[in-house]
Amino acid sequence: MHKILITGGAGFIGSNFVRFLLGVEPDLHVVNLDALTYAGSLENLENLPNPDRYSFIKGNICDRILIDTLLRKYDIDTVIHFAAESHVDRSILGPEQFIQTNINGTFTLLEAVRQYWIGKKGDSVKDVRFHHISTDEVFGSLDSGAPAFSEETPYAPNSPYAASKAASDHLVRSYGHTYGLPYTITNCSNNYGPYQFPEKLIPLMILNAMVGKPLPIYGDGQQIRDWLYVEDHCEAILTVLQHSQPGKTYNIGGENQPANLTIVETLCEILDELLPDSPFRPHSELMTFVTDRPGHDRRYAMDISKIKKELGWQPRHSLDSGLLKTVQWYLDNSQWVDAIRKQQKYQGWIEQNYEKRGN
């Protein structure tokens, strides 16, 4: 792993991984390809460590000519594929872009690396890797008391987003089986941490509470998710890249499954402590229940015993410590927050999806 193409590296998880990788790996060059849609921002990539080993290219993963050019120009030996449309609510309102990016974009990348790596090297493809970032949502929803998702859990996606990610997973596996493409896949649970675009639960609650806006909670707030601090996720991905054999799939989770309502209550308590002079204390009084979204999965939970046993990885952050670090980051980075809030696309989306939803 010397010359790495990261797709979607200006987004939330991708930008954290770029920053993490440049800080811990001294002998590699990172090429970051991102279309800079609403959720990707160059502000996520300011003050990177070792910027001399980093290149940014604005472009779309569906642009085959561009992908071919980058593979040749930088002699890429590793692709880490983060780029995806990733918000369930957006996939419900407009699924077409999810099909285009998550399925067609993944296909474009796979075809490009197949022809570049296998066509160039024939059977000698031991030193290349296509790593695909996926989600626990491909497994569907768990009933109360049901065993956590494992790597053998059958796929049962319930939203256009989840279905598009399931399709991309199958494409990656098929290229490994059919063409011998060296690949690995990780299915992660809900990430949170610095630089997360505030359409997702945790940053939305933090930023709304800071300015006294309502904290919209879907349904009864008892939806259960497994929450993974983004830095732990970055460490897990690098562990897989460095130590896993090709053809492996691993679940990555934070080993906690609180209800969404509990998450919001905890965030309010942290803000009460960190902002003792806020006119909106107690911040829990801002909580309001709104109409649930269609087909909302009730529970996710991840069994991470495989990656623990085979690769020795486990999360380092507890939910409490991760949430505290996350809230503090948003409080300390007002310039980033202000830039996001000024985006017309962001303001329009918040109004469309939350403010008009009602009780």
Burial class (CB in 10 A: 0-12, 13-18, 19+), 4: buried
Of 34, 77, 85, 137, the active-site residue reads 137
Dihedral of alpha carbons 220, 326, 164, 135, sign: negative
Of 34, 85, 89, 136, the active-site residue reads 136
Of 161, 175, 183, 195, the active-site residue reads 161
Indicate the SS3 state at residue 214.
coil
Active site residue 123: no
Q: What separation in angstroms does the CA of 174 have from each of 126, 131, 186?
A: 18, 14, 16
Q: What are phi and psi of 109, to 5 degrees?
A: -65, -45
Active site residue 297: no
Active site residue 136: yes
CA–CA distance, 277 with 275 (Å, rounded to integer) = 5
CA–CA distance, 255 with 252 (Å, rounded to integer) = 9
**Count of Cβ atoms closer than 10 Å to residue 287 Cβ:** 17
Q: At what angle do helices 334-341 and 319-332 cross, to 10 degrees?
A: 80
Show the tokens assigned to 118. Answer: 């296998």
CA–CA distance, 313 with 250 (Å, rounded to integer) = 11
Catalytic residues: 136-137, 161
